[in-house]
Amino acid sequence: MNPLKDSESHWVPNTVEWEKDTLLSHGLLASIEKRISDIFDKKNISKIHKGIKYIQNTVKWIVRYTVTLLTLKEKFESNYIACAWVDFMDAAARVRHKVFCQEKGWEEVQTDELEIDENDEHAIPIVLLDKNSSNPIACVRLILADLWDLPVEQYIEPIEVDRKRSAEVSRLAVIYGFRRRKVEVWKVFPEDIPDPIRWRFPIVKVGVFLSLISVARQNNIEHLYFLVEPSLLKNLKDLGAKPVQIGDPVDHKWIRVPCMISVSEMIDNLPWWSRPIWNSVCQQLHEK
């Protein structure tokens, strides 16, 4: 008797099921073998090395830029003090006289060495002091619009927004030794950090701008109006502002563009490299 034919007394394996289980087992093993093989494949080893290098570079980037932020804060706070309010009107007027009258010749030289005009009665002066000498080195002013026609309004349509929340920015001045250099750029380069002589970052001008924005926010001013030269317009954009042109270019000592910016929008868009200086000027100006 052929036992293979005797289905009742002998178990015959289900060939289809057996082959299926075998294929699954072989497939799993093949998959494991392939993964192991892939790990030791030269191309994948190269990818692993690249991944490790990427992580290393990322860590270096984080460390370098953390050092950059801390250095910016230390450099600003150890060298400059931001001040505001009427107590510093004379200090601002001296900077303006030195820049506008003596250095550039745009205004007449005054015997008292103070450059002032009728708008100062309705303005908040902002001054940056050199901490080492206590001398004023830069200034700007906010002319309040609530009880006074702004100078810029002679070139634009009358201001229709809330005048109590509006002001004009003018008389930005930085004395010669702290002004623009040929290599100046509104970005931070970590390679400059170890060597202050190579610094291309205009820390004084950035400090003045950010002090201006801080004082504007303290006084609940949202709309800032400028008659601004094109290069300064670019600087504002670099600091996160989105200037809106509100009139045709005018010839006022040189070509300037009437524009308006939003204070809150600029604060929201401040670039990462400006944050240490922003925090410093807010603390120095006692802003909460």
Phi and psi at residue 38, in whole multiples of 5°?
-65, -35
Fold of 81-284: Aminopeptidase (3.40.630)
Distance in angstroms (rounded) separating the CA atoms of residues 81 and 130: 7
Helices of type H across the chain:
15-39, 42-79, 89-96, 203-218, 230-238, 263-268, 275-284
What residue segments make up the domains of the chain, in order of their start? 81-284
What is the helix (H) or strand (E) element at residue 106, kind and residue range? none
| Best CA proximity match to 102, nearest among 175, 28, 35 | 175
pLDDT tens for the chain, 288 residues long, are 444 344 443 333 444 443 444 444 444 455 555 655 655 565 566 666 676 777 766 766 666 666 666 778 888 899 999 999 888 999 999 999 999 999 988 899 999 999 999 999 999 999 999 998 999 999 999 999 987 889 999 888 888 889 999 999 999 999 988 876 555 555 555 555 454 444 567 889 899 999 999 999 999 999 999 998 888 888 889 899 999 999 898 887 778 899 999 999 999 999 888 888 999 999 999 854
pTM listed for this prediction: 0.73
- Other Cβ atoms less than 10 A from the Cβ of 153: the count is 16
